[in-house]
């Protein structure tokens, strides 16, 4: 009995300890579950917050800076370019036509003169003396002629009365003819002397610009001098002679045969500044076999003296005009595996890749036949960093290519 009671008393603490251990285990399991659930909720909320932060960051991120320009509609010039030089229509070296001392210079170097304007004078006194001598000889021979004519009339009456021989009458008629010839020769000497006096006053043979003076007053000039007194070049109008490849000859001749008046524009060396506008005058009659080019001549009014003789210019022969064409700067056109395209700036400030069809590209401008509309903004600078849908920030708007086209009204 004592043994059984002791055994029961020893078993009671074992069950108690087991129940205590089991209760603590369940509590730990519940706490662990609560911790896992809390961590999951925390991480989920943190991910959503990070996602919202990232989205807000993307929404507020600055766009790629670009320069854009609007698509314009106007007349697009199709032209042929060639190198040329300004050539005067007329260039005259003014020379003396008589020998003598140069007494007066009546022009200033660089002066614009008109045809017939007095430029210089040569000492006229020797020619005045010649004129006086010729006039004296004429007066003498006229008196002799008059006397011979009177004698001829007398001889005719005497021959009728058979008082003198017929031979004497014939001799008198011959003498009259001799005096008539002498009078004509004297008149020629007078006219020559007067002409020399006219030549002693040197006038401008053409209108134009005076060059540098070659002879100073006081020098003796001769009609055989090679240098002359001065050179005059006609500036208004003036011409430009330029060359084009022979492949373009048929196109130009076709326009000329149809009566089309072709416009030619002259630009400076850098082809950035237009100097003058003229019209095509003619085409040379042969092709240069060494260069494979043909020469053309264009005339320019040169009202404001924009062109100067022997000046180097770039000539542009406008062969056709595309009316109401869509025009964009050439840098706006990009090339990819699928062909040509342009980036269009949309209203939400994003760039859209737009395939385009390009017509003609000349001097920084391109005509677009399809893919764009008037007024749309196309990116001309910064397109290398863009992708379709990229956020952009337009930093400025370009006015177009350096060479503007005529805009249609």
In 10 A of CB 291, how many CB atoms? 10
HSE toward the beta carbon, residue 401, CA cutoff 13 A: 23
* Two structure tokens written together for 129: 């003396």
Alpha-helical regions (H) of 61-165: 125-160
* Degrees to nearest 5, angle at CA 271 with 267 and 273: 60
Which residues lie closer than 8 Å to 145 by C-beta, 6 or more apart? Answer: 176, 179, 180, 182, 183
Distance CA 209, CA 214 (A): 15
Pair 154, 102: CB distance under 8 Å: no
Q: What is the pLDDT of residue 102?
A: 95
Q: How far apart are CA 129 and CA 141, in angstroms?
A: 19
The answer to whether the beta carbons of residues 81 and 326 sit under 8 Å apart is: no
Q: What is the pLDDT along the chain (409 residues), one digit of tens a residue?
A: 344 444 444 444 555 555 555 566 666 666 666 666 666 665 556 555 545 554 454 445 578 888 888 888 888 888 899 999 999 999 999 999 999 999 999 999 999 999 999 999 999 999 999 999 999 999 999 999 999 999 889 988 888 888 888 898 899 899 999 999 999 999 999 999 999 999 999 999 999 999 999 999 999 999 999 889 999 999 999 999 999 999 999 889 988 888 889 999 999 988 889 999 999 999 999 999 999 999 999 999 999 889 999 999 999 999 888 888 888 888 888 888 888 899 999 888 888 888 998 888 877 888 888 888 888 899 988 888 888 888 988 887 765 544 444 433 3
Closest alpha carbon to 245 in 78, 77, 86, 81? 81
C-alpha 178/C-alpha 37 separation (Å) is 151
pTM score of the predicted model = 0.63
Listed residue (292, 262, 306) closest to 86, CA to CA: 306
Structure tokens at 111: 């002066």
Residue 175 tokens read as 């003498």
CA atoms within 13 A on the CB side of 85: 5
């Amino acid at each position: 009995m004592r043994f059984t009671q002791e055994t029961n008393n020893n078993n009671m603490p074992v069950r108690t300890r087991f129940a205590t251990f089991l209760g603590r285990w369940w509590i730990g399991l519940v706490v662990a579950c609560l911790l896992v659930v809390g961590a999951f909720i925390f991480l989920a909320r943190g991910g959503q917050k990070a996602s919202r932060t990232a989205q807000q960051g993307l929404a507020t991120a600055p766009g790629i800076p670009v320069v854009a320009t609007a698509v314009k509609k106007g007349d697009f010039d199709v032209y042929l370019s060639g190198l040329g030089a300004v050539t005067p229509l007329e260039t005259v070296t003014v020379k003396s036509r008589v020998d003598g001392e140069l007494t007066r210079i009546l022009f200033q170097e660089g002066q614009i003169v008109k045809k017939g304007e007095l430029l210089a004078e040569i000492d006229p006194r020797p020619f005045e003396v010649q004129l006086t001598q010729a006039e004296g000889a004429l007066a003498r021979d006229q008196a002799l002629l008059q006397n011979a004519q009177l004698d001829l009339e007398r001889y005719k009456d005497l021959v009728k009365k058979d008082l003198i021989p017929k031979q004497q009458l014939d001799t008198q008629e011959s003498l009259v003819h001799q005096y008539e010839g002498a009078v004509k020769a004297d008149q020629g000497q007078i006219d020559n002397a007067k002409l020399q006096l006219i030549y002693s006053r040197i006038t401008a043979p053409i209108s134009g610009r005076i060059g540098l003076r070659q002879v100073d007053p006081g020098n003796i000039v001769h009609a055989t001098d090679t240098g002359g007194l001065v050179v005059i070049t006609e500036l208004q109008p003036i011409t430009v002679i330029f060359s084009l490849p022979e492949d373009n000859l048929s196109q130009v001749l076709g326009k000329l045969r149809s009566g089309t008046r072709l416009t030619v524009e002259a630009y400076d060396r850098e082809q950035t500044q237009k100097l003058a506008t003229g019209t095509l005058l003619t085409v040379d009659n042969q092709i240069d076999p060494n260069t494979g080019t043909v020469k053309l001549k264009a005339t320019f009014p040169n009202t404001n003296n924009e062109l100067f003789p022997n000046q180097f210019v770039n000539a542009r022969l406008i062969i056709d005009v595309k009316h109401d064409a869509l025009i964009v700067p050439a840098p706006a056109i990009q090339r990819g595996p699928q062909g040509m395209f342009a980036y269009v700036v949309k209203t939400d400030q994003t760039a859209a890749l737009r395939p385009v069809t390009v017509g003609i590209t000349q001097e920084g401008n391109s005509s677009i036949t399809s893919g764009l509309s008037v007024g749309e903004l196309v990116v001309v600078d910064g397109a290398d960093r863009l992708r379709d849908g990229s956020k952009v920030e337009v930093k400025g708007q370009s006015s177009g290519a350096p060479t503007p086209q005529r805009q249609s009204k």
